[in-house]
Chains A and B, each alone.
Chain A
Amino acid sequence: GAVVSQHPSWVICKSGTSVKIECRSLDFQATTMFWYRQFPKQSLMLMATSNEGSKATYEQGVEKDKFLINHASLTLSTLTVTSAHPEDSSFYICSARDDRGLAKNIQYFGAGTRLSVL
Protein backbone atom coordinates (compact mmCIF):
# COMPACT_ATOMS: atom_id res chain seq x y z
CA GLY A 1 0.00 0.00 0.00
CA ALA A 2 0.97 3.64 -0.42
CA VAL A 3 2.73 5.09 2.59
CA VAL A 4 3.28 8.72 3.47
CA SER A 5 5.77 9.52 6.18
CA GLN A 6 5.50 12.78 8.07
CA HIS A 7 8.17 14.03 10.45
CA PRO A 8 8.32 15.10 13.20
CA SER A 9 5.16 13.79 14.82
CA TRP A 10 5.34 16.35 17.61
CA VAL A 11 7.36 19.51 18.00
CA ILE A 12 7.51 22.15 20.71
CA CYS A 13 9.21 25.43 19.93
CA LYS A 14 9.63 28.89 21.33
CA SER A 15 7.74 31.84 19.94
CA GLY A 16 9.65 33.50 17.10
CA THR A 17 11.49 30.40 15.91
CA SER A 18 10.88 28.50 12.67
CA VAL A 19 9.83 24.88 12.39
CA LYS A 20 10.18 22.59 9.37
CA ILE A 21 7.86 19.64 8.77
CA GLU A 22 8.71 16.98 6.20
CA CYS A 23 6.31 14.90 4.14
CA ARG A 24 7.64 11.95 2.14
CA SER A 25 5.91 9.49 -0.14
CA LEU A 26 7.79 6.26 0.54
CA ASP A 27 6.72 3.90 -2.23
CA PHE A 28 5.25 6.10 -4.92
CA GLN A 29 5.92 9.34 -6.73
CA ALA A 30 3.79 12.34 -5.92
CA THR A 31 3.91 15.32 -8.20
CA THR A 32 1.25 16.90 -6.03
CA MET A 33 1.13 17.04 -2.25
CA PHE A 34 -1.23 18.91 0.02
CA TRP A 35 -0.87 20.57 3.40
CA TYR A 36 -3.76 20.74 5.84
CA ARG A 37 -4.33 22.23 9.23
CA GLN A 38 -6.75 20.71 11.71
CA PHE A 39 -8.08 22.29 14.91
CA PRO A 40 -9.42 20.08 17.71
CA LYS A 41 -12.70 18.37 16.85
CA GLN A 42 -12.82 20.07 13.46
CA SER A 43 -12.40 19.04 9.86
CA LEU A 44 -9.23 19.38 7.82
CA MET A 45 -8.62 22.79 6.32
CA LEU A 46 -6.57 22.83 3.13
CA MET A 47 -3.73 25.31 3.42
CA ALA A 48 -1.90 24.83 0.15
CA THR A 49 -1.26 22.57 -2.80
CA SER A 50 2.39 21.75 -3.37
CA ASN A 51 3.67 20.88 -6.84
CA GLU A 52 7.07 19.46 -7.59
CA GLY A 53 9.29 22.01 -9.25
CA SER A 54 6.90 24.92 -9.04
CA LYS A 55 5.46 27.36 -6.54
CA ALA A 56 2.80 26.19 -4.16
CA THR A 57 -0.79 27.32 -4.55
CA TYR A 58 -2.14 28.75 -1.31
CA GLU A 59 -5.76 28.82 -0.24
CA GLN A 60 -7.41 32.14 0.47
CA GLY A 61 -6.43 33.54 3.84
CA VAL A 62 -3.26 31.47 4.23
CA GLU A 63 -0.12 33.61 4.61
CA LYS A 64 2.48 32.57 2.04
CA ASP A 65 5.33 34.16 3.97
CA LYS A 66 4.29 32.48 7.21
CA PHE A 67 3.90 28.98 5.77
CA LEU A 68 6.72 28.29 3.31
CA ILE A 69 6.30 25.23 1.13
CA ASN A 70 9.02 23.55 -0.88
CA HIS A 71 8.47 20.52 -3.12
CA ALA A 72 11.98 19.82 -4.34
CA SER A 73 11.52 16.21 -5.46
CA LEU A 74 8.78 13.79 -6.47
CA THR A 75 8.79 12.25 -3.00
CA LEU A 76 9.39 15.16 -0.63
CA SER A 77 7.52 18.30 0.34
CA THR A 78 8.34 20.49 3.32
CA LEU A 79 6.30 23.03 5.25
CA THR A 80 8.18 25.64 7.24
CA VAL A 81 6.28 27.64 9.80
CA THR A 82 8.30 30.85 10.04
CA SER A 83 8.46 33.02 13.14
CA ALA A 84 5.97 30.76 14.88
CA HIS A 85 3.57 32.21 17.44
CA PRO A 86 1.20 30.49 19.89
CA GLU A 87 -1.71 30.95 17.49
CA ASP A 88 0.15 28.74 14.98
CA SER A 89 -0.14 25.83 17.41
CA SER A 90 -2.17 23.17 15.62
CA PHE A 91 -2.17 19.73 14.02
CA TYR A 92 -0.61 19.87 10.55
CA ILE A 93 -1.21 17.01 8.13
CA CYS A 94 0.20 16.39 4.69
CA SER A 95 -1.13 14.18 1.94
CA ALA A 96 0.33 12.94 -1.31
CA ARG A 97 -1.54 12.19 -4.50
CA ASP A 98 -0.44 9.01 -6.20
CA ASP A 99 0.71 9.78 -9.73
CA ARG A 100 -0.03 6.30 -10.97
CA GLY A 101 -2.92 5.77 -13.37
CA LEU A 102 -6.19 4.80 -11.75
CA ALA A 103 -5.04 5.90 -8.32
CA LYS A 104 -4.77 9.52 -9.36
CA ASN A 105 -7.74 10.63 -7.29
CA ILE A 106 -6.47 9.06 -4.11
CA GLN A 107 -4.70 11.10 -1.49
CA TYR A 108 -2.69 9.26 1.14
CA PHE A 109 -2.20 11.06 4.41
CA GLY A 110 0.72 11.33 6.77
CA ALA A 111 0.27 10.75 10.49
CA GLY A 112 0.31 14.47 11.22
CA THR A 113 2.54 16.82 13.20
CA ARG A 114 1.39 18.42 16.40
CA LEU A 115 3.00 21.84 16.75
CA SER A 116 3.01 23.57 20.12
CA VAL A 117 4.43 27.10 20.21
CA LEU A 118 5.28 28.38 23.68
Chain B
Amino acid sequence: QQQVKQSPQSLIVQKGGIPIINCAYENTAFDYFPWYQQFPGKGPALLIAIRPDVSEKKEGRFTISFNKSAKQFSLHIMDSQPGDSATYFCAAILSGGYNKLIFGAGTRLAVHP
Protein backbone atom coordinates (compact mmCIF):
# COMPACT_ATOMS: atom_id res chain seq x y z
CA GLN B 1 0.00 0.00 0.00
CA GLN B 2 2.97 2.27 0.44
CA GLN B 3 4.20 1.76 -3.11
CA VAL B 4 4.12 4.13 -6.02
CA LYS B 5 4.31 2.31 -9.36
CA GLN B 6 5.95 4.22 -12.20
CA SER B 7 6.10 3.46 -15.92
CA PRO B 8 7.72 3.26 -18.36
CA GLN B 9 11.17 2.37 -17.10
CA SER B 10 12.76 4.18 -20.05
CA LEU B 11 11.54 6.43 -22.81
CA ILE B 12 13.04 7.80 -26.00
CA VAL B 13 11.49 10.69 -27.90
CA GLN B 14 12.54 13.06 -30.62
CA LYS B 15 13.06 16.73 -29.92
CA GLY B 16 9.69 18.48 -29.79
CA GLY B 17 7.85 15.32 -28.78
CA ILE B 18 5.69 14.99 -25.67
CA PRO B 19 6.94 12.24 -23.36
CA ILE B 20 4.39 11.02 -20.83
CA ILE B 21 5.34 9.29 -17.60
CA ASN B 22 2.68 7.55 -15.55
CA CYS B 23 2.40 6.74 -11.85
CA ALA B 24 -0.16 4.88 -9.77
CA TYR B 25 -0.66 4.55 -6.05
CA GLU B 26 -2.83 2.57 -3.65
CA ASN B 27 -2.85 4.54 -0.41
CA THR B 28 -5.63 7.11 -0.62
CA ALA B 29 -4.16 8.90 2.38
CA PHE B 30 -1.32 10.28 0.23
CA ASP B 31 -1.96 13.99 -0.09
CA TYR B 32 0.94 15.49 -2.00
CA PHE B 33 2.52 14.28 -5.24
CA PRO B 34 5.83 15.81 -6.35
CA TRP B 35 7.92 15.02 -9.41
CA TYR B 36 11.69 15.15 -9.28
CA GLN B 37 14.26 15.42 -12.08
CA GLN B 38 17.69 13.91 -11.61
CA PHE B 39 20.74 14.29 -13.83
CA PRO B 40 23.58 11.73 -13.59
CA GLY B 41 25.73 12.23 -10.51
CA LYS B 42 23.42 14.87 -9.06
CA GLY B 43 20.71 14.95 -6.44
CA PRO B 44 17.03 15.11 -7.46
CA ALA B 45 15.52 18.53 -8.06
CA LEU B 46 11.87 19.31 -7.46
CA LEU B 47 10.15 19.90 -10.78
CA ILE B 48 6.47 20.30 -10.08
CA ALA B 49 3.99 19.03 -7.50
CA ILE B 50 0.23 18.63 -7.15
CA ARG B 51 -2.37 17.99 -4.47
CA PRO B 52 -5.21 15.49 -5.03
CA ASP B 53 -7.91 18.17 -5.09
CA VAL B 54 -6.47 19.54 -8.35
CA SER B 55 -6.82 17.70 -11.68
CA GLU B 56 -4.09 19.48 -13.59
CA LYS B 57 -1.15 21.76 -12.94
CA LYS B 58 1.16 23.43 -15.43
CA GLU B 59 4.54 24.99 -14.87
CA GLY B 60 6.28 26.04 -18.04
CA ARG B 61 6.59 23.00 -20.31
CA PHE B 62 5.74 20.55 -17.51
CA THR B 63 2.17 19.45 -16.78
CA ILE B 64 0.85 17.07 -14.16
CA SER B 65 -2.49 15.39 -14.77
CA PHE B 66 -4.14 13.86 -11.71
CA ASN B 67 -6.98 11.33 -11.66
CA LYS B 68 -8.04 10.89 -8.06
CA SER B 69 -10.66 8.20 -8.70
CA ALA B 70 -8.20 6.07 -10.65
CA LYS B 71 -5.39 6.85 -8.21
CA GLN B 72 -3.12 7.76 -11.08
CA PHE B 73 -1.09 10.79 -12.07
CA SER B 74 1.17 11.57 -14.97
CA LEU B 75 3.84 14.01 -16.11
CA HIS B 76 3.78 15.49 -19.61
CA ILE B 77 6.74 17.39 -21.01
CA MET B 78 5.73 19.69 -23.84
CA ASP B 79 8.13 20.52 -26.67
CA SER B 80 10.82 18.28 -25.15
CA GLN B 81 14.44 19.28 -25.59
CA PRO B 82 17.71 17.29 -25.42
CA GLY B 83 18.41 19.11 -22.13
CA ASP B 84 15.37 17.37 -20.64
CA SER B 85 17.21 14.05 -20.90
CA ALA B 86 17.33 12.86 -17.28
CA THR B 87 15.71 10.44 -14.87
CA TYR B 88 12.31 11.45 -13.59
CA PHE B 89 10.84 10.22 -10.33
CA CYS B 90 7.27 10.55 -9.19
CA ALA B 91 6.66 10.49 -5.48
CA ALA B 92 3.92 10.61 -2.89
CA ILE B 93 3.82 12.00 0.61
CA LEU B 94 1.63 11.19 3.57
CA SER B 95 1.43 14.49 5.43
CA GLY B 96 1.79 14.52 9.15
CA GLY B 97 4.60 12.94 11.03
CA TYR B 98 7.87 13.16 9.17
CA ASN B 99 6.40 13.50 5.67
CA LYS B 100 8.42 10.67 4.17
CA LEU B 101 8.67 10.62 0.38
CA ILE B 102 7.63 7.40 -1.32
CA PHE B 103 9.44 7.31 -4.66
CA GLY B 104 8.54 5.55 -7.85
CA ALA B 105 11.20 3.46 -9.59
CA GLY B 106 12.14 6.23 -12.01
CA THR B 107 11.94 6.77 -15.77
CA ARG B 108 15.05 7.40 -17.83
CA LEU B 109 14.15 9.85 -20.56
CA ALA B 110 16.30 10.43 -23.63
CA VAL B 111 15.36 13.24 -25.98
CA HIS B 112 17.13 12.91 -29.32
CA PRO B 113 17.93 16.00 -31.41
A residues contacting B by CB (< 8 A) are 4, 6, 32, 34, 41-44, 46, 49, 51, 57, 91, 93, 95, 97, 104-112, 114
* A104-B95 Cα distance, complex, nearest whole Å: 9
CB <8 Å contact, A109 and B89: no
CB <8 Å contact, B42 and A111: yes
CB <8 Å contact, A106 and B43: no
Can you pick out 11 interface pairs between chain A and chain B where the beta carbons lie within 8 Å of each other?
Answer: A6-B43, A34-B101, A49-B98, A51-B98, A95-B101, A105-B32, A105-B49, A105-B93, A107-B46, A109-B45, A112-B41
Chain A positions within 8 Å of B44 at CB level: 44, 93, 109
CB <8 Å contact, A34 and B100: yes
Q: How many residues of B contact A (CB 8 A)?
A: 22
Chain B positions within 8 Å of A57 at CB level: 98
Residue in B46, B93, B106 whose CB lies within 8 Å of A42? B106
Chain B positions within 8 Å of A112 at CB level: 41-43
CB <8 Å contact, B103 and A114: no
